[in-house]
Amino acid sequence: MDRLLPENLWSTTHRFVMGLEAMQRSSEQRAIANVQTELDCIVLENKSVPITRNEREYDNSYVCSPYTAYVRYARDELGLIKNALLRRALRAVIGMADIALRWAQINQTVSLNNWLFSTNIVPDWQNDTIDYFTNKLSHANPQHSISIRSLNPYSNADLMARLQQKGWLMLPARQVYLFPKQGEAHGDWWRKNNVKNDQRLLKNTSLQLVTPQEHRGEDFKAIESVFKQLFIDKHSAYNPQFTAAYFEFLHSHRLVEFFSFRDISGRIVASIGLFTQNELITAPIVGYDTSLPQSLGLYRLLMAQLLKVTHERGQTLNLSSGAGHFKRQRGGVPVIEYTALYVNHLPWQQRWLQSGFARLLNRFGPAFLQKHEI
C-alpha cells in the first residue's frame, strides 16, 4: 500500500505502526503470532489513524479477518449455545456462510482505524472526513471493501448514521458491555453491591498490585503466559496471539497501561492492559493463571481494578464481549457492536454477496446476539 502519512508527521500512531510492522517482519520478536496484514496510516482531522489491508489470509485472527469473525470464531462460539438442535442448525448455516463469504472475497478489505485489538476506539468523524477517506481508500483499492470495526449505537450513534447516509452497510458483530461515565444514563454502576464486594476483595487480597510504572522487562513473559491461558487456551485460538515482546513494546510506548498482581514469590499471576482514547477505556489484554484456585478471585480482582480506574478518571468503559452475567451484575449495559462496510465500488458479484450477507445479519443477528449474549 502506498504511504498515506506525510513523512514529516511523526506521531504516536506512526511509531506504533512502524514498530509493529518491524516486529511482524522479525522471526525472533514477532508481535502478534496469528496476524498477517499490511499496515499503513492515514491522516484524518489532523490525527494519524492506522490501517490494515488484507487479501485472503483465512487463518488470520478476527481482528483483521471478517471471514474469521463470522465463520471460524463463530464456530468456536457454538459451545455457548445450550440447545443441541440449534447448535447443529447453526453449524450448517456457518458452513454455507463459509462458502459464500469465500466467493464474496470478504477478507479482501482495508480496515480503517484498526489497532488490532479486540475493541477499537473510533473517532467521531464528520461528513467531510467520511467523504475523504471513503473516496480515497475506495479509489486506491478497487477490489477491496473498506471496513471500520467496533461501532456501537451508544458511543457512535451519530457516526453510524453519517456512514449509512454515505452508503455504508452495518454488520452486527457481537454484544459488548459498556460502563457509562458518571452523570450519564446507567452511570451509577459504582454503587452496585457486586462492585462494592469486588472493591473489598481488591483491598484485602494478599496479592501485590503492580501499577504500570512498576513493571519490569521480565514481567511481560509472565503476562504473555496468563493472557494465553485465558484468551487463547480457554476461549479461542482466533483471538490475537500477542507476544511478550509486543506487550513490552506497548508498555514502553505508553500505548497500553498494565495493571498486574504478583504472588508471594514475585510471579505475576494476573494482568490487565488498558487502552484509552477519546475519554473511553477498553481492556484488550486480560489474563490470569487458570490453574490457581478460584478462591483467589483473580478475574474479579482484575475487573475491580479496571472499574476503580474507570471511576476515578470519570471515563466510559467498553468491556468488550463475553462473561455477560458477570458484567451485567456490575452494571454493564449490553449493546450490539457493528462493523461498518463500504462496498459500492466493488465488482458486482462481491457487492451483491456482501450486501446480501449484511441484510441477512441485520434481520437475524441482533436478536440472536442479545438472546445468547455472544
Distance CA 234, CA 340 (A): 29
Do residue 18 and residue 155 come from a single domain?
Answer: yes
Whether the pLDDT of residue 373 is over 50: the answer is yes
Render pLDDT for 313-337 as a digit per residue (tens, 0 to 9).
Answer: 999 999 999 999 999 999 999 999 9
Note whether 197 and 154 are same-domain residues.
Answer: no
Inside any domain, residue 240: yes
**Domain carrying residue 242:** 189-333
Is residue 285 domain-shared with residue 222, that is, in the same domain? yes
- Decide: residue 115, CB within 10 A, 0-12 exposed, 13-18 middle, 19+ buried: buried
Residues 321 and 208 in one domain: yes
- Domain-embedded: residue 310: yes
**Residue 72 lies inside a defined structural domain of this protein:** yes
Last residue of a domain, one of 333, 349, 364: 333
> Do strands 145-151 and 169-179 pair parallel, antiparallel, or not at all (unpaired)?
unpaired
Strands 169-179 and 316-318, sheet pairing: antiparallel
> Are both 321 and 212 inside the same structural domain?
yes
14-23, 57-66, 114-123, 256-265: the lowest-pLDDT one: 14-23
* Residue 182 within a domain: no
Measured CA to CA, the distance from residue 226 to residue 289 in angstroms comes to 5
| pTM for this model (two decimals) | 0.94
226 and 298 part of one domain: yes
Kindly state whether residue 184 falls inside one of the protein's structural domains. no
Residues 315 and 347 in one domain: no
Same domain, 149 and 165: yes
CATH code: domain of residue 256: 3.40.630.30
For residue 233, is it within any domain? yes
Strands 316-318 and 280-288: parallel
pLDDT for residue 77: 87
For 142-163, b/e burial (b = at least 16 CB within 10 A) is: eebbbbbbbbbebbbeebbebb
CA distances from 85 to 33, 77, 81, 88, 361 (A): 35, 15, 10, 5, 20
Same structural domain for residues 282 and 353?
no
Distance CA(145)–CA(147), nearest Å, equals 6
> Mind listing the pLDDT tens digit for each residue in 202-228?
999 999 999 999 999 999 999 999 999
pLDDT reading at 8 higher than 90? no
Helix (H, G, I), strand (E, B) or coil at 308: helix
pLDDT tens figures, 34-75: 999 999 999 999 889 999 999 999 999 999 999 999 999 999
Q: Is residue 161, in this structure, part of any structural domain at all?
A: yes
Residue 148 lies in a domain: yes
242 with 316, same domain: the answer is yes
Mean of per-residue pLDDT scores for the chain? 94
Q: In sequence order, what E strands does the chain have?
A: 38-44, 47-53, 109-112, 145-151, 169-179, 208-210, 257-262, 268-277, 280-288, 316-318, 333-342
* First-last CA distance in the chain: 34
pLDDT exceeds cutoff 70 at 10: no
Statement: residue 1 has pLDDT above 60: no
The verdict on 142 and 262 lying in the same domain is no
Number of domains forming the structure of the chain:
2
Mean pLDDT of 362-373: 92
DSSP letters spanning 31-93: SBTT---EEEEEEETTEEEEEEE-S--TTS-TTS-HHIIIIIHHHHHGGG---HHHHHHHHHH
Q: Are 47 and 107 in contact (CB under 8 A)?
A: no
Tell whether 288 and 205 lie within a shared domain: yes
